[in-house]
Every structure is written in structure tokens, then in C-alpha cells.
Amino acid sequence: MDQNPYRRKPSPISTTTGGSNLVTSSELLPMKFLSFGTMKLTRTFTTCLILFSVLLAFSMILHHHPSDPNRIMGFAEARVLDGRDYSNVTVTNDSNDSDRLLGGLLATGFDEASCLSRYQSPLYRKPSPYKPSPYLLSKLRSYETLHKRCGPGTEPYKKALTQLDQEHIDNNGECKYVVWVSFSGLGNRILSLASVFLYALLTDRVLLVDRGKDMEDLFCEPFPDISWLLPLDFPLTSQFDGLNQDSPRCYGHMLKNQVVGNDKTLSHLYLHLVHDYGDHDKMFFCQGDQTFIGKVPWLVVKTDNYFVPSLWLIPGFDEELEKLFPQKETVFHHLGRYLFHPTNQVWGLVTRYYEAYLSNADEKIGIQVRVFDVGAGPFQHVMDQISSCTRKEKLLPDVDTVIERSRRVTTPKKHKAVLVTSLNSGYSENLKSMYWEYPTLTGEIIGVHQPSQEGYQQTEKKMHNGKALAEMYLLSMTDSLVTSAWSTFGYVAQGLGGLKPWILYKPENRTAPDPACGRAMSMEPCFHAPPFYDCKAKTGVDTGKLVPHVRHCEDMSWGLKLV
């Protein structure tokens, strides 16, 4: 018998017609064709009915939602900018160009694919209630024009380079520059770079950024057409690591040794504004010294400080700053979102984590833990402090540790996602265990997530800094934020997100402070090492009491911040 079905002969079909007579397949063919025609007609009718229903549905949608680019885009209408599905991203803001450009902060004309974060970041945050002033927008556009005219590779830049070979110059060139030296940890670098950029705006200088180990791997170019990165062949780059208070061209050193004269203009000057700077270095913040410094075409700055608050205390700068920032606590909020756009690699870390763990939560709570105690953590007093703060401030609910009580839930449970960032995983694991083992008294569901746990700070490692930047951005996307005292990591997150955090006060003697935390006066970072000097009276003064908008910080009594 042939076992291959494709070679078998057709067998008679056992069908009876009025009896037991067999009907062969050839006799059944007319019946098959008739049946086939009927089925075809039925399918055609069904298809037409479905198409009519779809067209009717589209007509109703278009009738109720006109194709207006300025209409509000809700959760189900999240925009897709890079081909990936953003349906899980909660979008609460307008889709018009004003919002896409952060109220006009960002310039147009960039290749969007080369830096996805530049225009996608509004998808992941609520609209900022703080709008940039028209004067700031005008100043930024003017700066971009200046940068394009004088930036690396241009004729004015090449001409200015020739001045570096001279001790003194007879006349200033077309353009002046300030070079920011990459120095310290990532949080310090971000804050200090924002400070130097603001100084460049105030003094009509072109900002050039030392690449350091990883700056071009972390951030996109913020200015159109011309790079902000210092060219690799810049003549002074080899000297950067050795710059300190005793460098011959250090302004403080020259003042101290009385070698600064007003009769000749120096070709370049080094400004030492690091936390260990001395009294002569701090003369940078005096108006008279700014007059001299302003004539020098090349300034090289090394700093790990957010020195913006003290710029407001310099006569001449204060009036310009008032026009740039009528809402004084918005300086870093605006400049940070203008300058710092993560590269696509870092942005991928941000978006993948957000969509996986945070996007579906009803509320997102950020907790940034930075411990300065020596020894291996986690520390119980820090855990106690976190728990006390989040419960007292109603950020997280209490748990029922006495008995597992059955509750009939009549309304959907609220889901809170808690994002913890720390070098140690112990604090998030403690929270996670607590909310897994016991129910909350409110019925809320708490999910605890920590993207990384690096163990210790690894400033010089690219991937470590990439993760750190991603976590700063993730914290800035939360609804409420808890930060640690003295931490520039937390300062960056609160500023980017426009958030006034609850600050965990610094513990003393490994004891949780009481109260555990307090609400920040503003979202501005703290200047950790400000000068205490009255330039006019030439005497010491409490610079936190000179003007109402510059006060001492909540987390560092001698620091200064804008409010």
C-alpha cells in the first residue's frame, strides 16, 4: 500500500442520497462550487460591514477630536519620537512647540535622532510651572549667535589662540572665552558648569568645555552648529591637572604676591574657585576685581562649586540677573534643562527603566540616599531616618505589623512606585521587604525599585557616571522627592525636576536627627563654600543676610542658596 497521501487515488465520498447509494467526488463537484460561492458572498458582505463600522468610528473620533496640533494629548496618545512604543508614558502636557522646546529654552535646528533626550524629556515630566523670562530667552538666542561666530574652528577663535603665546596683549580681539576645567564628581561638575555658563552669559564670553574623561559620552551638544567642547589641540590642556592656588597665572596668587597691575592686560588668567580656595581667590566675587578680570580674553576656571548665589551679590551683575530670572529660585531649573541633555546611550538607561518600573504608577516617590559616615552600610540610624521622614510627611503609608486584616476593597488600590538611589542596596531592600511582608494601613500598593548599587563612588568610570546621570534624571521625573543633606546628586535632580525636596538632615554620632527631615525653601542648589567678605567695607560679613533672596541653606548652615 502506498503510504504517501499525495500519491493516493481519490476515494469515493461516503454520502447517501435518498438511500445507501454512494456519491462519487465527481458527482459532488457542482455542490462544492455552489457552497463555495455562497461562502464567498458571505465573506464579502461581512468585510464591507466591518469597513463601514471602522469608517463610522473614525468619523466620530474626528468629530470630537479635531486635528489640532495644540490640543491636550492624554495618556493613550503618548507621542512616538524614535519608533518605540511610548504608550506607557504618562503625558500630561501640551504637544505644541512651546512645550516641546521647554517654553522656548531650547533652540530648533538640531538633528533630533542624534540626541533623543533633547525633545523627549517633556514626555516624562509634568509641565513646569516655572516659565523662562522673555529676557532669558533673548539672551540665550544671542549667546548661540555669539557661540556660532566665535566657537572652535572659527576665524575669531583662531585669532584669539595666537594671544595665548603672549604675556600681555595690547588690545582685545573680537571674542573672549571662559574655559571650564572638568573636575570632581559628576554632581559637582554639572552644578559648576552651569555656574560658569551663567558667568559667560553675564560677561559676553564663549564657554568652552574641557572633555575630561567622559563629558562627550554623557552629554549632547547644547548649542546649535558649533561644539561647546574644547578642541583637543588647545595649548593649555596639558596644564589643567596641575592648576592650583600657587599656579603663576592664578588670580588669587597674583593678588597675594601683588603682581597684578592695571596698566597691562594679561593674555590669560586662571581662576581657582575650588572649595579649598583662599581669601585672595574669593576676590573674584568683588566688582572691582571683575573690572580687571573682564579685560582678559582667556579665563580658565576650575571649580567644584555652584557659585551662582554669590554672583547675585556683585553690583552690576545683580540687575542683569533680576531681568534674566525674575523668579530667583529658577536659575538651575532653567539652565540645567537648557544645557544638560543625556546622550542616547544614557537616555536609553533612563527610558527603559522608567517604562519598566515607573510608568504605570499612580504616584512616584524619589528617595536619594547619600551617606557620609565611614564604614560599610546600610546603617540602621539612616534607615530609621528615612522611615520617619517618609511617614511623618505622608509620602509613604504606615504598615499593619500587628495582624493581617482582611479588607474588602471597594475602590481600585493606589499604586505608588518608590525609586531609591544609593550606593548601597540595603535601604531599598529594607523598604521592599517591609511593604511585601505587611499590608499598608491605607490599602496602597507600594513598589520599591533601585536601578543600581555601585558600592562606592567611582568618579573616573564612564559607565558609573552614565548610571549616575540616568538616576539623576529618573529622580527628577518623580512627583515627590526626598534628598540627602550636602549631596550635589540630589541638588541636580531637584533642579531638573523643578521639585522642592524634603531634605534628610545630616546625622550626628550615628543617631537619626529629630526631626528627620525638612522641606527645602527652594529648588535651588546650595553653594557650599561661599565668601564671607564685604568688598566695599573690606571686612568680613555674613553674606547670607545681605539680601532677602540669598539665604543660608537648610542642610549646610554656612552655605548660600537662592530663594
Higher pLDDT, 523 or 63: 523
Does the pLDDT at position 58 exceed 50? no
To which residue does cell 584669539 refer?
Answer: 160
Q: Are the beta carbons of 99 and 122 closer than 8 angstroms?
A: yes
Per-residue pLDDT, averaged over 393-415, amounts to 78
pLDDT value at position 206?
Answer: 98
Three-state DSSP class for residue 436:
helix
pLDDT value at position 234?
Answer: 98
From CA 222, how far away is CA 205, in angstroms rounded? 16
Identity of the amino acid at 408: R
pLDDT value at position 545?
Answer: 96
CATH numeric code, 344-562: 3.40.50.11350
Does the pLDDT at position 57 exceed 50? no
From CA 512, how far away is CA 382, in angstroms rounded? 6
Positive/negative CA dihedral, 95, 99, 101, 102:
negative
Higher pLDDT, 440 or 94: 440
103: phi > 0 → left, psi -120 to 50 → alpha, else beta; which?
Answer: left
pLDDT band of residue 413 (cuts 50, 70, 90) is: confident
From CA 469, how far away is CA 305, in angstroms rounded? 18
Does the pLDDT at position 40 exceed 90? no
Higher pLDDT, 267 or 82: 267
pLDDT value at position 404?
Answer: 57
Per-residue pLDDT, averaged over 457-464, amounts to 73
For residue 303, what are the β-bridge partners? 273
Contacts 24+ apart (CB under 8 A), 224-229: 224/107, 224/109, 224/110, 224/144, 224/148, 225/109, 225/148, 226/147, 226/148, 226/151, 226/152, 226/153, 226/154, 227/151, 227/152, 228/147, 228/151, 229/152
Higher pLDDT, 75 or 481: 481
Which of 469, 484, 403, 468 is closest to 441 using CA atoms? 403
pLDDT band of residue 455 (cuts 50, 70, 90) is: low
Three-state DSSP class for residue 250:
strand
pLDDT value at position 173?
Answer: 83
From CA 442, how far away is CA 436, in angstroms rounded? 14
Q: Are the beta carbons of 487 and 371 closer than 8 angstroms?
A: no
From CA 175, how far away is CA 159, in angstroms rounded? 9
Query: 310-328, pLDDT tens digit by residue?
Result: 999 999 999 999 999 999 9
Per-residue pLDDT, averaged over 506-520, amounts to 96
**148-152, 340-344, 377-381, 481-485: least confident range:** 377-381
Per-residue pLDDT, averaged over 198-204, amounts to 98
Mean per-residue pLDDT over the chain, rounded: 85
Identity of the amino acid at 165: D
Q: Cell for 504?
A: 534628610
Could you write out the DSSP letters of every residue in 547-558?
STTEEE-SS-TT
pLDDT band of residue 106 (cuts 50, 70, 90) is: very high
To which residue does cell 465527481 refer?
Answer: 26
Per-residue pLDDT, averaged over 247-251, amounts to 97
Per-residue pLDDT, averaged over 3-25, amounts to 38
pLDDT value at position 32?
Answer: 35
The count of residues in the chain is 563
pLDDT value at position 170?
Answer: 74
Identity of the amino acid at 549: H
**51-55, 432-436, 555-559: least confident range:** 51-55
From CA 437, how far away is CA 202, in angstroms rounded? 56
The full set of domain ranges for the chain reads: 132-329, 344-562
CB atoms within 10 A of CB 396: 26
